[in-house]
């Protein structure tokens, strides 16, 4: 390999790394870091991405494409996992609506809020049962109600849950008597939002499938030409060809990220946060 070709390959790798930064910038990063970020699933995905980079580099000798394929594997869930995330969000919203209705019914029997909250754990749906069980344990340890509710909002990590928790906190401060009516309104609002989100998700599902089809077709076509008809793509083996290919990969990466963002359902930001609750 000539020095000129090596320099061109290095430049292509640098452009591909820039593509990664562009994709992350367009798609966004997680809202807040969580402990144990390197989970087994992420390690497995990183291994698959490394294997994909090596395989594409060996088969095509296109460094820019190899790095881009590795980035695509690493960010596949963030770019094209909108259907799964939407399904999880809908299930969580439905669980919150059911929990609000359960809490409302217990309040209607005359139970005070500190006694009614732990009683809702048994009937809670799976997406929120864990945080509710932690809340019940905190109340059983005689921790103050307001910090416990704020910690619950952090554990649930959902704008809809913030609205319910804020209502409970305000009611506990003012010793209000209209909690049953307020919870009924919140539950009805959650059910209405649930219906809207299901309708929107049904419309966006076709967009996500189209994005996945375009990405898959593009990658398979490029790799198929490189392996099945190397003479047709021989100009890309040169240093100049690698630079051109890196620019093309960058344009496609921005387009894919843009399509993915168009298919995503924006959600409001949270407005409650809690200090750490002592054990």
Here the tokens at position 180 are: 């049953």
Query: 143: alpha, beta or left, given left = phi > 0 and alpha = psi -120 to 50?
Result: beta
Here the tokens at position 184 are: 């009924």
Give me the pLDDT at residue 183, please: 92
Grade residue 278 by pLDDT with cuts at 50, 70 and 90.
very low
Domain residue extents for the chain: 3-28+39-84+205-263, 93-196
Q: How far apart are CA 123 and CA 149, in angstroms?
A: 19
Burial 238-265 (b: 16+ CB within 10 A, else e): ebebbbbbbeebbebbeebbebbeebbe
More confident position, 161 or 237 = 161
Q: How far apart are CA 235 and CA 62, in angstroms?
A: 11
Q: How far apart are CA 188 and CA 190, in angstroms?
A: 5
For the stretch 117-153, pLDDT in tens is: 999 999 999 999 999 999 999 999 999 999 999 999 9
For the stretch 231-272, pLDDT in tens is: 888 888 788 888 888 888 888 888 877 877 776 667 777 877
Q: How far apart are CA 253 and CA 247, in angstroms?
A: 10
Q: Report DSSP state, residue 35.
A: S
pLDDT averaged over the chain?
Answer: 79
Summarize the chain as % helix, strand, coil (round to 5): 80, 0, 20
Here the tokens at position 132 are: 């509710």
Q: How far apart are CA 261 and CA 258, in angstroms?
A: 5
For the stretch 72-96, pLDDT in tens is: 788 777 666 667 777 888 899 999 9
pLDDT score of 277 more than 60: no
């Amino acid at each position: 390999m000539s020095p000129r070709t090596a320099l061109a390959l290095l430049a292509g790798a640098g452009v591909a790394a820039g593509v990664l930064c562009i994709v992350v910038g367009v798609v966004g990063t997680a809202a807040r870091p969580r402990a144990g970020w390197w989970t087994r699933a992420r390690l497995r995905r990183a291994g698959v991405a490394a294997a994909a980079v090596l395989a594409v580099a060996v088969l095509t000798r296109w460094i820019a494409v190899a790095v881009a394929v590795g980035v695509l594997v690493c960010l596949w869930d963030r770019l094209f996992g909108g259907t799964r995330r939407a399904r999880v969000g809908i299930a969580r919203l439905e669980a919150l609506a059911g929990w609000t209705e359960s809490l409302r019914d217990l309040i209607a029997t005359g139970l005070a809020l500190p006694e009614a909250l732990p009683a809702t754990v048994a009937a809670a749906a799976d997406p929120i049962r864990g945080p509710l069980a932690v809340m019940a344990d905190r109340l059983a340890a005689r921790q103050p109600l307001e910090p416990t509710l704020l910690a619950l909002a952090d554990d649930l990590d959902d704008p809809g849950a913030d609205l319910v928790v804020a209502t409970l906190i305000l009611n506990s401060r003012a010793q209000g008597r209209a909690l049953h009516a307020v919870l009924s309104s919140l539950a009805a609002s959650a059910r209405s939002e649930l219906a809207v989100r299901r309708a929107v998700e049904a419309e966006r599902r076709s967009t996500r499938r189209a994005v996945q089809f375009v990405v898959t077709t593009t990658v398979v076509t490029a790799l198929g030409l490189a392996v099945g008809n190397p003479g047709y793509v021989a100009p890309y083996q040169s240093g100049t060809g690698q630079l051109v290919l890196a620019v093309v990969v960058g344009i496609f990466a921005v387009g894919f990220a843009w399509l993915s963002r168009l298919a995503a359902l924006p959600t409001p930001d949270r407005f409650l946060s809690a200090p750490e609750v002592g054990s």
